[in-house]
């Protein structure tokens, strides 16, 4: 796993794209602070860049680096979540602008899955984590369902968990607003 993480970090540092396992489904990832890398993901997914992508990080302590104001309810949601949870926060900062939604918000998920957590720790920046599929196609539940278009379009394919055939599910999504407002998206 360590060699896989090192290779993935080298590619990410160079502005490249990786295909990697997360706490949910297989994802396409890049440095979430690099606008050119984010643009490459939009192109690979054949997706318009007005559809925001989420960010993966390894610790709730890092939230305040990427969100201007973390609503207090977020800490409670993170603490009680028993499965992967993406929270959409208002007023993102220090991230690639083309990653954000039109209203300036960003979805962030704190991963507890071993590989993606260690990758985030070692890379020391947030990662884009978007489903490993062309826009409009079904999200792959495991590595065997990732299309050749995606595999051929990334710079590095992580070896870890390629043989895991369990059917992963996408995360729950909650959008938080200021003043305690929230909306369950998924």
Helix (H) or strand (E) holding 156: strand 156-157
Could you list the mean pLDDT of each consecutive 10-residue stretch along the chain, which spans 186 residues? 94 98 93 97 87 91 94 90 93 95 94 93 96 91 93 96 83 83 80
pTM over 0.85: yes
> Can you give the pLDDT at residue 35?
96
Distance CA 29, CA 96 (A): 13
- Nearest 5°: the CA angle 19, 24, 26 is 20
Query: What's the burial of 178, exposed, middle or buried (CB within 10 Å: 0-12/13-18/19+)?
Result: exposed
> Can you give the pLDDT at residue 93?
96
What the chain holds in terms of domains, given with CATH numbers, is 2-184 (3.90.870.10)
Six-digit token string for 149: 């278009």
């Amino acid at each position: 796993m360590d060699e896989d993480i090192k290779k993935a970090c080298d590619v990410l540092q160079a502005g490249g794209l990786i295909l990697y396992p997360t706490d949910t489904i297989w994802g396409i990832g890049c440095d979430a602070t690099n606008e050119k890398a984010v643009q490459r993901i939009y192109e690979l997914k054949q997706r318009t860049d007005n559809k925001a992508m989420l960010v993966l990080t390894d610790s709730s302590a890092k939230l305040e680096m990427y969100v201007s104001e973390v609503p207090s309810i977020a800490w409670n949601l993170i603490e009680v979540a028993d499965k992967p949870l993406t929270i959409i926060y208002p007023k993102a900062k220090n991230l690639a602008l083309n990653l954000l939604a039109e209203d300036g918000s960003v979805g962030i998920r704190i991963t507890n899955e071993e590989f993606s957590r260690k990758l985030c720790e070692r890379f020391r920046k947030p990662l884009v984590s978007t489903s490993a599929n062309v826009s409009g196609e079904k999200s792959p539940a495991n590595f065997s369902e990732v299309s050749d278009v995606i595999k051929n379009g990334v710079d590095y394919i992580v070896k870890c968990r390629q043989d895991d055939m369990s059917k992963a599910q996408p995360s729950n999504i909650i959008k938080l607003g200021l003043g305690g407002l929230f909306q369950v998206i998924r």
